[in-house]
Amino acid sequence: MRIIPAIDIIDGKCVRLEKGDYTTKKIYNENPLEVAKAFEANGIKYLHLVDLDGAKSKHIVNHKILESIASKTGLSIDFGGGLKTEEDLRIAFESGASQITGGSIAVKDERLFTEWISIYGAEKIILGADAIDEKVAVSGWQEESKEALVPFIKKYLERGVKYVVCTDISKDGMLQGPSFDLYHRIIKGTKALKTKVAHSGLTEDMTSSLHLIASGGIATFEDLPRLAEIGCEGAIIGKAIYENKISLKQLQHFIQEHESEA
């Protein structure tokens, strides 16, 4: 399972929120690059970078920070927040994003998001499936849509998505543990999903192509092996690192252990 620390950006600073509420903002570092370099120095290879200003403004805002981290570290960065247009994607990829995450756009403009999967490929486009009471949330988690979570994920698996980041918003930033049951239901709920392979009569098991990334609520190091056991391909960790509930040395050891097993 991949370890993916998170850096959330407001006004160029590294912050954390509780349940996506901007009024709960807490600044942890005024230099996101410094934080990213500390992650890399401890063997971490991946970064989840969220442009919270962009999510609120509905267009990319903090691409200069993305560019700085991408050019000055070797981290593989998935970038999200406010990506609504082809121009937003162009800026994100040109600024150094390895992948982008689309959440609201996947709800509000299915045609465009599906087009992005076709143009850029399933390795580049992550589906952001963040939910309140298993209904997909949009607009920086400020609105709840009518989309039920598991059918929403299934729909996009059938359209070629491989990577899905799922956050139970009620858990995010609360340090109360992730939604183990939710991730188990997602994996179980997509198990029988099959789709026709293009230009053949064969079927392909879509479960094998689902890379489910857990996000929100991770509170202790012990949460990580449980997520791995459920079948999560990655785990995004934010506040637990910043509040010293999980140390970078623990994460480094986890990564080394899993690499040696592989």
Residue 244 has pLDDT above 50, yes or no: yes
What is the mean pLDDT of the segment spanning 12-38?
Answer: 94
Its pTM stands at 0.91
Q: Is 216 left (phi over 0), alpha (psi -120 to 50) or beta?
A: left
- State yes or no: pLDDT of 20 exceeds 90: no
CATH assignment of the domain containing 113: 3.20.20.70
Phi, psi for residue 20 in degrees, rounded to 5? 75, 10
Options 130, 168, 172, 223, the catalytic residue: 130
Nearest one of 238, 175, 254 to 32, comparing CA atoms: 238
d(CA 104, CA 141): 9
Q: Name the band, by pLDDT with cuts 50, 70 and 90, for residue 144.
A: low
What is the average per-residue pLDDT within 172-200? 77
Number of domains composing the chain: 1
Active site residue 78: no
Which of 8, 51, 53, 168 is catalytic? The answer is 8
Domain that holds residue 22: 2-261
Q: State the number of CA atoms in the 13 A half-sphere of 95 facing the CB.
A: 23
Residue 164 has pLDDT above 90, yes or no: yes
**Cα–Cα distance measured from residue 164 to residue 137, given in angstroms and rounded to the nearest whole number:** 14
Q: Does the annotation mark 130 as catalytic? A: yes
Span 77-86, average pLDDT: 95
Does residue 173 register a pLDDT over 50?
Answer: yes
> Rounded mean pLDDT of 194-203?
46
List of residues 6+ apart from 61 with CB closer than 8 A = 51, 53, 54, 81, 82
The confidence band for 18, taking pLDDT boundaries of 50, 70 and 90, is: confident
Rounded distance between C-alpha atoms, residue 123 and residue 88, angstroms: 18
